[in-house]
Structure 1
């Protein structure tokens, strides 16, 4: 009965813009933009690969990614990318980082 209230451990880490920038410098790191193509007008993180979280094929597209790499994931505000990280973690990805505040935080700090 008490087990009903246990939370699942997060399989990703939330990071701020400075931590995101430092992680981005490391090799075998992929920046993943999970926003819609229309949202790119708000700006992008240089070098980001886009996979639209709302695309029905999102999970299939993510499944093709190299699980040995580190993924830095962002969206507009950080909520969608949290969901994307959780999904990726459940698929066996181990090195996942979510940008707190998303592109809005990135734009504010750059």
Structure 2
């Protein structure tokens, strides 16, 4: 209704693993893992940068990213990344996507490199 009660959820895209993987192939796409550093070290999507959503410097660290680049966020199950996606869109990121189901539903092997 006229956008006055627009929820944060409607400002970003929730994507299935297949659609998320497809989006990552876009030139300039940025992949952000918002889990804790020890979770990231245990296995993450190739090419991801780790910026923990619950860290006190989360806002400062994401401010260094290109707000116009397609930004893809994920976590273990999709809950923390949905929160992060909402924060990103509120701070001016134009194209944010969240991985539904997180790495629990990711069909491909994770990397530790």
> Which category of TM-score, normalised to the shorter sequence, fits these structures?
0.7 to 0.9
Matched, 1:8 2:7: yes
The C-alpha deviation readout for 1:54-85, integer Å capped at 9, x for no partner, is 11010111112111101010001000000000
Secondary structure in structure 2 of the residue aligned to 1:27: coil
TM-superposed CA distance for 1:41, in Å, is 4.7
TM-superposed CA distance for 1:8, in Å, is 2.0
Count, aligned residues: 103
- Report the equivalent of 1:76: 76
TM-score by length of 1: 0.88
Computing the radius of gyration over CA atoms, which structure comes out larger, 1 or 2? 1
List runs of 5+ in structure 1 lacking aligned partners.
1-5
CA RMSD of aligned residues (A): 1.3
TM-score by length of 2: 0.85
List runs of 5+ in structure 2 lacking aligned partners.
109-113
TM-superposed CA distance for 1:86, in Å, is 0.3
